[in-house]
Amino acid sequence: MNITSFVQRASLVLTLLAAPLAMANPQVVPAPPQLAAKSYVLMDAASGNILVENNADERLPPASLTKLMTAYIATLEIRNGKIGEQDLVTISEHAWRTGGAASGGSTMFLPVNSQATVDDLLHGIIIQSGNDASIAIAEYIAGSEDAFADMMNATAERLGMKNSHFVNATGLPHPEHYSSAHDMAILARAIINEDAEHYAIYSQKEFLWNNIKQPNRNLLLWRDRTVDGLKTGHTSEAGFCLVASAVRDGSRMITSIFGTDSEQARAAETQKLLTYGFRFFESRTFYQKGAELAQATVWKGTAHQVKAGLAEDLTLTMPKGQLEKLQASMTLNPQLIAPIQQGDVIGKVEVKLGDEVVRSTDLVALESVEEGGLLRRLWDSIRMFFFGLFN
């Protein structure tokens, strides 16, 4: 990365890569595969960019994909110290009756009034897709499944899941319980990025509890060693669904597929998306969150300059061969007046491919600058007057 100029108005241009173009003739990206599914999404995990989509925001029954949210909230509560992995949870009659074997759904086979640790329940939710485990942990966290559903909806709103509404912790059918392929990809990305330790559970092929061993229903864990999660779902209303993720050559892709017609089909259609994504796209993080990219002049402050950077990583996903052609222009506000708070927007970065802007993001102050004394403010007022005359 080279800063090629920094003029008085604080405008600069930098090349994202100093190396020459690696591909003079970038490969042609063919049309994406058409899948036998109601809706689907292919997302680059690093950037969050959607590479392929079909009916991505259609509200559909998510079946047991719901348990991704149940597990996400449980791990969040663990990380926040509100519950412990070795806490003992008593299995209520509601959890046993609604989520047990008698209900006909997937179950961890938890006896009524028995106890299980939070860690065991979490494994039972993720690997065995236990309805009983999901209700038990929901009741332990929120007191009731209804109250837990309120937490699910608040979390969905925070994550930007605009087409999701939850009424239970399991995904059992309900007319007001729905999500979308796009929303589930957003949730999967949060699970992967926020908690690597607990995400490792999603790659486990089986779980033994109370002498009952059950396999993970994600067939791709056996077929593709690059796949390390996430979750399957199935009801007669929802069809066969799968949210999956894989890592190849340091890049991670996320797929979300709703409404295929069999267990085999959801695995095969997911594999098509993953193959397409890894074959024709690449991503790269050009600037890290919090890294100093420039220093901006500050007027009337206790300091003459403030460090500028990004509030989030600048990661881009493009067809292979295009990343090397990107250039970024960075413009800083030439009249920054103290006080300035850390995080204040003080400029902008635009990334272009030729004349097309492919990403625009804010530059922010990486530190605070307090207001200067009276003499400093008066002197800078005079300087700013003459600066304005000549610029």
Among all residues, which ones are annotated catalytic?
64, 67, 129
Asked, as a colleague might, if the bond just before 339 is cis with ω within 30 of 0, I would say yes
Report the C-alpha gap between 40 and 53 in whole angstroms.
Answer: 6
What contacts 174, CB < 8 A, 6 or more positions away? 167, 168
Q: In this structure, what are the phi and psi dihedrals at residue 229, rounded to the nearest 5 degrees?
A: 165, 180
Q: 217 and 206 in contact (C-beta within 8 Å)?
A: no
Report the C-alpha gap between 65 and 206 in whole angstroms.
Answer: 18
The single residue listed with the structure tokens 């009801």 is: 235
User: b vs e for 339-375, b when ≥16 Cβ sit within 10 Å of the residue's Cβ?
Assistant: ebeeebebbebebeeeeeeebebebbbbebbeebeee
Asked, as a colleague might, if the bond just before 21 is cis with ω within 30 of 0, I would say no
Question: Taking phi first (over 0 means left), then psi (-120 to 50 degrees means alpha), and beta for anything else, what does residue 370 get?
Answer: beta
Q: 15 and 327 in contact (C-beta within 8 Å)?
A: yes
The single residue listed with the structure tokens 């939070």 is: 118
How far, rounded to the nearest angstrom, does the alpha carbon of residue 51 sit from its chain's CA centroid?
14
Amino acid in the structure at residue 225: R
Q: Of the candidates 361, 300, 303, which has an alpha carbon nearest to the alpha carbon of residue 329?
A: 361
Q: In this structure, what are the phi and psi dihedrals at residue 89, rounded to the nearest 5 degrees?
A: -115, 125
Alpha-helix residue ranges (DSSP H) falling in the chain: 66-79, 93-99, 118-126, 131-142, 145-159, 181-194, 196-199, 220-223, 263-280, 374-390
Tokens of 8: 């008085």
Q: Of the candidates 184, 185, 229, 188, which has an alpha carbon nearest to the alpha carbon of residue 205?
A: 229
